[in-house]
Amino acid sequence: MTTAQEHGGDVRLTGISKTYGSFTAVHPLDLTVPQGSFFALLGASGCGKTTTLRMIAGLEEPSSGTVRLGDQDVTALPPYKRPVNTVFQSYALFPHLDIFENVAFGLRRRGIKSVKKQVGEMLDLVQLGEQARKKPHQLSGGQQQRVAVARALINHPKVLLLDEPLGALDLKLRRQMQLELKRIQTEVGITFVHVTHDQEEAMTMADTVAVMNGGRVEQLGAPADLYENPRTTFVANFLGTSNFIEAEVAAESGDDLVVKAGDCKLTLPTARCSGPTATGGKVLVGIRPEKISLTHADDAGRIPEGRNRITGRIADSSFIGVSTQYVVHSPVCPSFEVYAQNIERDGRLTPGAEVVLHWNPAHTFGLDAAQDVE
């Protein structure tokens, strides 16, 4: 049984920022990474996620702010004095040492003679017990990455920092390693902070995801919450595909807002609108493509009451295996296209067909149109 003290407590960044000359890579940010969590910093290239990670590691000096680990202010500590370790995308294994010695390296450097048991346990943890006497070049990319993780964990850091650790792997191996890293994190129970630009990776592995954009955390939350309730178009688009409809709040009705887009009235839960909720407020109504059903206009009478509806015409359709993707142009929302998926096969749903797009209003979210125009 391990204690909170052994695990180091939360990582707490307060007002942390980084500027290079006149360029601000990370704007002052406050972030708490709960102890024992799998935390992902997610964003496009250049958004400041690696810089943030490197400030936690001590590899980059913050321009302002503090880094705390539990009760300890580590801002002024050099990397080797912090109870953290980093795994990089380039595994940085020693090519001339075998796997056992690569993993043992940190212990030997600290003068520990008897390393067999600890290294053995660590190799078992990453399921490489059988490979101990091989050299790095004799292992696959995924196995090499697991050696790098074992080598980083052997010193019992309180926080493991992972900087795009799966970036060099092909897609299939990447997916396997995501599950593997999650398993290892659950087993060792320490905090993992993982940098990635791959939304699926962040969603698969992390308990909490911080979506970064332009040196700021744009939204923070559990993966499902970010997906279901994005507060900006950037977050909505980064975590999958969304359709957006420009609309104006017409009325509030119970727990819902009724909004008007052209001649079309749509309903969305007030609680899921991060934009204005007063009458006349300009909102962007968002709906994920997989929530939308598509019905031929001739069958519109069969659509149950109470669903949001938009009429349109199929402009394009493409079969993509598990589903068919449709592009629908809608006269009530000019320049609006819908990518509707998971539709039951209907031979009439071909380009040119008149259709009704419809969905459960509960799946709709609303954004602040004024704030969100990119």
Examine residue 331 and tell whether it contacts ligand ATP (CB under 6 A). Answer: no
CB nearer ligand ATP, residue 43 or residue 230: 43
Q: Using the minimum distance from each CB to ligand ATP, give the nearer residue, 46 or 351.
A: 46
Residue of 197, 282, 288, 358 interacting with ligand ATP (CB under 6 A)? 197
CA distance 65 to 218: 19
- Collect all residues with Cβ–Cβ distance below 8 Å to 171 and sequence separation of at least 6: none
Residue among 176, 221, 166, 231 nearest 197 (CA): 166
Closer residue to ligand ATP (CB): 54 or 272:
54
By beta-carbon proximity to ligand ATP, the closer residue of 215 and 276 is 215
Does the footprint of ligand ATP cover residue 165 (CB under 6 A)?
A: no
The residue number with the shortest CB distance to ligand ATP is 50
Cα 90 to Cα 87, 139, 174, 185, 266, distances in angstroms: 8, 14, 14, 20, 50
Select 36 or 43, whichever has its Cβ closest to ligand ATP.
43
List CB contacts of 251: < 8 A, sequence separation 6 or more: 257, 258, 279
Counting contacts by CB under 6 A, is residue 114 touching ligand ATP? Answer: no
Long-range contacts of 120-124 (CB under 8 A, 24+ apart): 122/150, 122/153, 122/154, 123/99, 123/150
In whole angstroms, the minimum distance from the beta carbon of 235 to ligand ATP comes to: 16
Residue 288 contacts ligand ATP per CB under 6 A: no
- List binders of ligand ATP among 29-58 (CB under 6 A): 43, 45-51
- Between the two ends of the chain, the Cα-to-Cα distance in Å is 50
Cβ 80 to ligand ATP shortest distance, Å: 21
| CB contact at 8 A, 40 and 209 | yes
Which span sits near ligand ATP by CB under 6 A: 17-25, 95-103, 239-247, 308-316? Answer: 17-25
Does residue 87 touch ligand ATP according to CB under 6 A?
A: no
Q: How far is the CB of 144 from ligand ATP (least distance, A)?
A: 21
User: What is the distance between the alpha carbons of residues 280 and 74, in angstroms, rounded to a whole number?
Assistant: 50
Q: Does residue 319 bind ligand ATP (CB under 6 A)?
A: no
Residue 276 near residue 282 (C-beta atoms within 8 A): yes
Q: What is the DSSP letter of 291?
A: G
Q: Under the rule (CB under 6 A), what is the footprint of ligand ATP?
A: 20, 23, 25, 43, 45-51, 197
